[in-house]
């Protein structure tokens, strides 16, 4: 009886999926080419579909026809081959990490979403699932990590070996494939480069369903395309990531400024000490705005002692905008006796308000995982899964003062709606590799500015309008910024974003994903047109 039931239900799943996939792109879907094992891993139940139809942004909704839960890279390759070899037009496929995009970038309307985190759950699934640490004469220590792994798990595993990646995002519950498709930036970027600058090799499933290993020496064009490639060229199933000796503790400091030029001058001075193996350099430099309408601490981290909140609040009332420098220096048993002296030297001559300097000493893992506490608090209050009309920009150093006057003072302060974090910190362009797909401004130093708004379900448009207003200001005054985690509505805007890289980006798309199967949620290529 049980056997009969199993047969009937298998037949039903096959029937539904074949019907669904026949509809996709009005393709003649070759159902026979989809192995039975794969159809078992395709889900079409309302819960799976609804989870893949939303993202962290909570603004865009796009419904896929099915969600694949692969247990090994071969499952993904088989799905891509079905899409590629289908007669007529193909169906779209989007890899989804944790769906922490904010504008539907990991969605596949009418197609198949691949849940990459299920690869990570199948540790026995062969390349693409585990995290393993090795050493070689040419590379030193490195980790091979699955594309669906969370950076938090990579940290935990590598720390077992006394090792750690050197470049991070601020928040660790993002996937390896997701951040490598963008860049992966944080306060370490000025010194160690973005995460995409710390990858030696990858396994990638291209748009023809081939599983290819690529590196700067082996299939370099694919390697450079995929890094910062917004998911357009292939699905990353494994990345080989650079490791270094892990520190154990962190001196973590914040200093407040009322003068913007003092603040940026100090940030730029600190990031000028950026040799990878240089002793008198910081490991992390960030910064943020503090304003009277928001609390001194945000969900990104609780830092200031509660007893100091009243005097910080009165400073905010006095100056309206206060600029907060945030820095960190790592140390371990070998350097614990010298770290304070090193910091003193680095801080000599900084121009912050002297009474507003704060320091903490925390474990390395707690420093890297500092955003988690805020996430858990907001989740408990029902305030994590709300709309996030975020805007992340790269602003050239030569125009950052104009940006402060025109945007921070004249738009953000006047509109008085921003209560969430606004990040601002500089990076060195020479830590980025221009062969990669990621796009940054054409100046040696540029700032990342992140407006990390949370809003209610009814009022996210007011943040959207504020974002529009500040972009118009930059357009009108000729500030040549670039978007990070970009989202544009048409090809013209994408052409402008990529600038001189556009031609190569298109050629790479034609070569590695000729049927334009991947990541349609980025809305870069129109699947109805050929390239
Ligand atoms: P998803 O949103 O699921 O996917 C992003 C894009 O990559 C999609 O186009 C998807 O199709 C594609 N993709 C996903 N996996 C793969 C894969 N294996 N192979 C190929 N393509 C793939 N970013 C930073 O750089 N620094 C930060 O400090 C930072 N902090 C953040 C904090 C929070 C709270 C949040 C929500 C986001 C933050 N981000 C940060 C942004 C984050 O890097 C992006 O959201 C990124 O998309 C990673 O999220 P994800 O793993 O959920 O990927």
DSSP letters, 472-504, are: HHHHHTT---EEES---SSHHHHHHHHGGGHHH
pLDDT digits (tens, 9 = 90+) for 455-481: 999 999 999 999 999 999 999 999 999
Tokens of residue 366, six digits: 């707690």
pLDDT at residue 39, as a whole number: 84
Is the confidence at residue 271, as pLDDT, over 80? yes
Please state the rounded mean pLDDT for residues 226-242: 98
Task: Tell the residue number behind the tokens 């770290």, with chain if given.
Answer: 339
Q: How far apart are CA 400 and CA 427, in angstroms?
A: 13
Is the confidence at residue 9, as pLDDT, over 50? no
Catalytic residue among 55, 75, 170, 266: 170
Atom in ligand 1 nearest the alpha carbon of residue 371: 34
- Give the DSSP H or E segment for 199: strand 199-206
Report CA(175)–ligand 1 centroid distance (Å): 7
| DSSP3 helix / strand / coil % (the chain, rounded to 5) | 40, 20, 40
CA distances from 228 to 190, 217, 236, 260, 496 (A): 17, 18, 12, 31, 17
Share of the chain above pLDDT 70, in %: 91
- pLDDT category of residue 352 using cuts at 50, 70 and 90: very high
Report CA(101)–ligand 1 centroid distance (Å): 6
Please state the rounded mean pLDDT for residues 268-292: 96
User: Quick one: which of 449, 461, 347 has its CA closest to 400?
Assistant: 449
Share of the chain above pLDDT 90, in %: 84
Catalytic residue among 55, 62, 75, 100: 100
* Integer-rounded Cα radius of gyration of the chain: 24
pLDDT at residue 24, as a whole number: 47
User: Quick one: which of 180, 188, 176 has its CA closest to 120?
Assistant: 176
User: Quick one: which of 197, 192, 201, 184 has its CA closest to 240?
Assistant: 201
Please state the rounded mean pLDDT for residues 29-55: 83
Q: How far apart are CA 70 and CA 122, in angstroms?
A: 9
Q: Are the CB atoms for 53 and 62 separated by under 8 Å?
A: yes
pLDDT at residue 225, as a whole number: 98
Q: 286 catalytic, yes or no?
A: yes
Q: Which of 62, 115, 177, 385 to mutate to test the pocket of ligand 1 (most atoms within 8 A of CB)?
A: 177
Please state the rounded mean pLDDT for residues 485-510: 96
- pLDDT category of residue 8 using cuts at 50, 70 and 90: very low
- pLDDT category of residue 245 using cuts at 50, 70 and 90: very high
SS3 of 82-142? HHHHCECCCCCEEEECCCCCCCCCCCCCCCEEEECHHHHHCCCCCCCCCEEEEEECCCEEE
For the chain, give the mean pLDDT.
Answer: 92
Q: 100 catalytic, yes or no?
A: yes
Is the confidence at residue 488, as pLDDT, over 70? yes
Half-sphere exposure of 307 (CA within 13 A, CB side): 1
Which residue blocks in 309-445 are alpha helix, DSSP H? 309-319, 339-347, 364-368, 370-380, 400-403, 413-415
- pLDDT category of residue 264 using cuts at 50, 70 and 90: very high
Residue nearest to atom 27 of ligand 1 (CA): 169
Is the confidence at residue 414, as pLDDT, over 50? yes
Is the confidence at residue 29, as pLDDT, over 50? no
Report CA(349)–ligand 1 centroid distance (Å): 38
pLDDT at residue 202, as a whole number: 98
Which residue blocks in 173-278 are alpha helix, DSSP H? 176-180, 189-192, 220-226, 260-272
Is the confidence at residue 79, as pLDDT, over 70? yes
Please state the rounded mean pLDDT for residues 24-30: 44
Q: 283 catalytic, yes or no?
A: no
Atom in ligand 1 nearest the alpha carbon of residue 94: 11
Report CA(168)–ligand 1 centroid distance (Å): 12
Beta strand pairing status for 66-68 and 112-115? parallel
CA distances from 373 to 171, 312, 379, 387 (A): 11, 22, 10, 20
pLDDT at residue 489, as a whole number: 87
CA distances from 341 to 220, 327, 347, 363 (A): 44, 15, 10, 19
pLDDT at residue 28, as a whole number: 41
Ligand 1 site residues, Cβ closer than 6 angstroms: 56, 94-101, 105-106, 116, 147, 169-171, 174-175, 177-179, 181-186, 230-231, 235-236, 485, 519, 522
Please state the rounded mean pLDDT for residues 319-346: 97
Is the confidence at residue 138, as pLDDT, over 50? yes
Please state the rounded mean pLDDT for residues 326-344: 97
Please state the rounded mean pLDDT for residues 157-181: 98
Atom in ligand 1 nearest the alpha carbon of residue 375: 34
Report CA(181)–ligand 1 centroid distance (Å): 7
Atom in ligand 1 nearest the alpha carbon of residue 236: 19
Residue nearest to atom 10 of ligand 1 (CA): 106
DSSP-derived 3-state class of residue 195: helix
Residue 191 CB contacts under 8 Å (≥ 6 apart), including other chains:
271, 274, 275, 276, 281, 282, 283, 431
- pLDDT category of residue 279 using cuts at 50, 70 and 90: confident
Report CA(318)–ligand 1 centroid distance (Å): 38
pLDDT digits (tens, 9 = 90+) for 306-326: 999 999 999 999 999 999 999
Q: Are the CB atoms for 531 and 512 separated by under 8 Å?
A: no
């Amino acid at each position: 009886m049980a056997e009969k039931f199993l047969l009937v239900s298998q037949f039903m799943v096959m029937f539904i999926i074949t019907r669904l996939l026949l509809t996709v792109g009005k393709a003649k879907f070759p159902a026979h080419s989809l192995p039975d094992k794969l159809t078992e891993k395709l889900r079409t139940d309302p819960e799976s579909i609804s989870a893949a139809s939303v993202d962290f942004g909570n603004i865009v909704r796009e419904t896929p026809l099915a969600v694949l839960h692969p247990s090994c890279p071969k499952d993904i390759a088989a799905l891509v081959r079905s899409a590629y070899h289908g007669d007529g037009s193909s169906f779209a496929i989007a890899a989804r990490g944790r769906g922490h995009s904010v504008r539907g970038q990991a969605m596949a309307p009418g197609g198949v979403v691949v849940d990459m985190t299920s690869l990570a759950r199948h540790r026995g699934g062969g390349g693409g699932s585990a995290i393993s640490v090795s050493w070689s004469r040419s590379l030193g220590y490195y980790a091979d990590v699955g594309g669906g792994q969370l950076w938090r798990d990579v940290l935990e595993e590598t720390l077992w070996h006394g090792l750690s990646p050197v470049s991070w995002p601020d928040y660790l519950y993002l996937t390896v494939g997701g951040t490598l498709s963008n860049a992966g930036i944080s306060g370490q970027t000025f010194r160690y480069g973005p995460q995409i600058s710390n990858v030696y090799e990858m396994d990638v499933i291209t748009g023809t369903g081939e599983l290819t290993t690529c590196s700067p020496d082996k299939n370099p064009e694919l390697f450079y395309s995929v890094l910062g490639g917004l998911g357009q060229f292939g699905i990353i199933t494994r990345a080989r990531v650079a490791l270094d000796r892990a520190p154990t503790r962190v001196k973590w400091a914040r200093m407040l400024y009322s003068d913007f030029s003092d603040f940026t001058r100090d940030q730029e001075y600190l990031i000028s000490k950026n040799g990878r193996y240089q002793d008198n350099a910081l490991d992390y430099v960030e910064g943020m705005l503090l304003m009277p309408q928001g609390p001194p601490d945000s969900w990104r981290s609780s830092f200031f002692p509660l007893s100091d909140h009243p005097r910080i609040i009165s400073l905010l009332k006095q100056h309206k905008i206060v600029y907060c420098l945030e820095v960190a220096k790592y140390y371990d048993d070998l350097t614990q006796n010298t770290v304070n002296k090193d910091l003193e030297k680095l801080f000599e001559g900084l121009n912050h308000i002297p009474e507003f300097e704060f320091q903490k000493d925390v474990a390395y893992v707690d420093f890297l995982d500092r955003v988690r506490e805020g996430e858990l608090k907001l989740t408990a209050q029902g305030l994590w899964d709300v709309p996030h009309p975020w805007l992340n920009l790269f602003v050239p150093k030569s125009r950052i003062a104009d940006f402060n006057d025109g945007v921070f003072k004249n738009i953000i302060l006047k509109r008085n709606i921003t209560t969430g974090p606004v990040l601002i910190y500089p990076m060195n362009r020479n830590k980025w590799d221009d062969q990669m797909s990621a796009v940054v401004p054409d100046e040696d130093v540029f700032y990342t500015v992140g407006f990390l708004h949370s809003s209610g379900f009814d009022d996210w448009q007011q943040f959207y309008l504020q974002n529009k207003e500040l972009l118009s200001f930059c357009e009108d005054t000729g500030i040549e910024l670039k978007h990070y985690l970009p989202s544009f509505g048409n090809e013209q805007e994408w052409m402008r974003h990529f600038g001189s890289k556009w031609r190569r980006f298109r050629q790479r798309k034609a070569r590695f994903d000729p049927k334009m199967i991947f990541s349609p949620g980025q809305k870069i290529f129109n699947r109805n047109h050929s390239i």
